[in-house]
Every structure is written in C-alpha cells, then in structure tokens.
Structure 1
Amino acid sequence: MEWTGARYADRPTVEVSTWVGAAPDRVWALVADIGLMPRMSGELRSVEWLDGATGPALGAKFAGHSRHEAFGEWSTTSHVVEYEPGRVFGWAVEDPGHPSSRWRFRLEPAGEGTLLSEWMQVGPGRSGLSMAIDRMPDKEQKIVFVRLRELERNMTATLRQLKELAEA
C-alpha cells in the first residue's frame, strides 16, 4: 500500500484478491460461514448471528467481538447490506446508513477456480480510529495510513487461509 495522504473523511478503502483453486460454491461456503472468521483474524475474537438469523441474508445482523493491542476490546453489530449467493457478501458495521466501516467478499469464476476479493471502507461513521484521530489530530493521515496497511496485511492473511481451506 502506497502513501495516499488520505483522511478519515475521504472514506479510504483497502482491497486484496487472490485466485483460489476451487469452485466458487466451495469458496462461498467458507466465506458465508462467519463462524470461521475468528480463526483467521488477529483481531476478531467471536461472532454470532442475531435476532434468529442463522446465515447471511439481506438485513440479517451479527455481532462481532474484537480485540486490538492499541484500541482495546470492543463489540459491534453488523448488518448484511449486500447479498448475492455465490457472488457477494457485504456488511455495514453499526448504522447501515452511516457505518463505521463496510466490508465485502466478492467471488468470480476464474478458469478452473475462483477470484476471491475482500474489500473494506473506513467510515463515514465514527470508530475506534476516529477516537485515535481525536487524540492526535495532527497525525490523522499517518494514523489512517498505518491502520489501512494493518488491515491490508490482515485481509491478505484471511484470504490466504480461506484459499488453503478451499483447496484442501
């Protein structure tokens, strides 16, 4: 990731992709299983569907419980805002109209396998990153850049693990 000088209000994004040597339906089964994600994340500790949901669907909600050395522990409620079975699973964190972040997995058939992408957008709603910026407003661009690089590393690790599981 190159320095962009982005500020939080710019709603910066990160996207990583990998080719997976497995059919899209195999990859989708893994991506749609939010219970797998804490195993693959350095931050996410646990997740559970809320309000009787048992899997992704438009409008379904899930709680995520996370921990980060610099930000501490926190819990969020995410709302599924994009759902095309076998192709797209996306959610908004907290207020779906003004989320603290948005996340999306996208799958596309590619040759004998699947192109798997993970994307996220910071903001526009407030988050732990906003609080760090509040404490050091003169360092906003550096704070945003460092966090985006960290997210890019974590997302790359998640895709690597999904690829390994799908190809096993």
Structure 2
Amino acid sequence: MRDSVSVRMAAPASRIWSLVSDVTRIGEFSPETFEAEWLGGATGPALGARFRGHVKRNGRGPVYWTTCRVIACEPEREFGFVVEAGKLSINTWRYRIEPTDDGAVVTESFELSSALVLRIYWGLLGWARGRTNRDGMRTTLERIKAAVEQGA
C-alpha cells in the first residue's frame, strides 16, 4: 500500500524545494490534482499548515476536493502531507530531495493508511490504482524536472 518513484534532476535543491512545497503550483505538474490553495491563513509550507487540493481522479473524474495537512517541512530536503477525511488520515505523500554533485535525486512517494476499508480497497483494486499512482508520480516528477532544469 505504498510506492515511490525517483528522478535525477540537474538543478539545485533550493529550486526543487520551491516547486514541490508550493502547493498552489501543483496543477502545473500533477496529472490528477489540477489546483490547490492554502487554508486557515497559511500562505506557504509549514508544519501543520493545511491546504486543499482539487482532484480529477485518474485524470478523468470524479472531481472532488481533498483537505491536506503538512507533516514534513524541511527546506531543500523534504515536503510531506497527509490527505484527511474528517479525522482519518487516508494517504501520506512525500517529496524527498537528496542533493548530489550535479543536482539532486527527488523521490515522490505515497503510503495509504492501514485502515480496514483501505486495505480492502487495495486488495481489490490496488493493482490498478498502484499503477496509476506510479505513472502519476513519474509524470509529476518529469514535469518538475523540466521546470527546474529550465529555471522556471
């Protein structure tokens, strides 16, 4: 109920961090989340900050909003958030940045909660959703790579 994708980027960690932690730009990169906005007076990444993302599931639908809370916020190293449904944490997403001599390796990952309903869902449909998530993470990271390597 978890997976990750890593992509090497020829850009400084600071430039990568500024994109992965700016949720208002997610629509430029993600094949499913086409917009997001900070909530509760938050204007940028910080531990505990909340935002909501507008999602078009599988790039086709249904369309819905998710509420998220930042759980990892280490500039130039890691940005992570949990997708919430009420008080239940559904899915954790992370971007880890590992600096290298010529840029960085960026890893995007997800991990579903171990709630019973999600374990059942993953047992029935995980093969398809896992592939969709993996493809989506690869697309997101490749789009971020193009932006940071062009200096956008």
* 8 Å Cα contact 1:103/1:120 also seen in 2: yes
Aligned residue runs from structure 1 range 1-168, under 5 A: 12-68=1-57, 72-94=62-84, 98-125=88-115, 130=118, 133=121, 141-168=123-150
Gap change, CA 1:124 and 1:71, over 3 Å in 2: farther
* 8 Å Cα contact 1:18/1:116 also seen in 2: yes
User: Matched residues in 1 for 2:86 and 2:13: separation?
Assistant: 27
2:147 maps to a residue whose letter is: L
Structure 1: 5+ residue stretches without partners: 1-11, 134-139
Question: Quick check: which has more Rg, 1 or 2?
Answer: 1
Structure 2: 5+ residue stretches without partners: none
TM-score by length of 2: 0.88
Gap change, CA 1:115 and 1:96, over 3 Å in 2: farther
Gap change, CA 1:92 and 1:46, over 3 Å in 2: same
Gap change, CA 1:77 and 1:163, over 3 Å in 2: same
Indicate the RMSD between aligned Cα atoms, in angstroms: 2.2
2:133 maps to a residue whose letter is: L
Shift in Å, 1:97: 7.0
* 8 Å Cα contact 2:31/2:139 also seen in 1: no
| Aligned residue pair count | 148
Shift in Å, 1:96: 9.2
1:28 maps to a residue whose letter is: W
Higher share of residues assigned strand: 2
1:159 maps to a residue whose letter is: L
1:83 maps to a residue whose letter is: C
TM-score by length of 1: 0.80
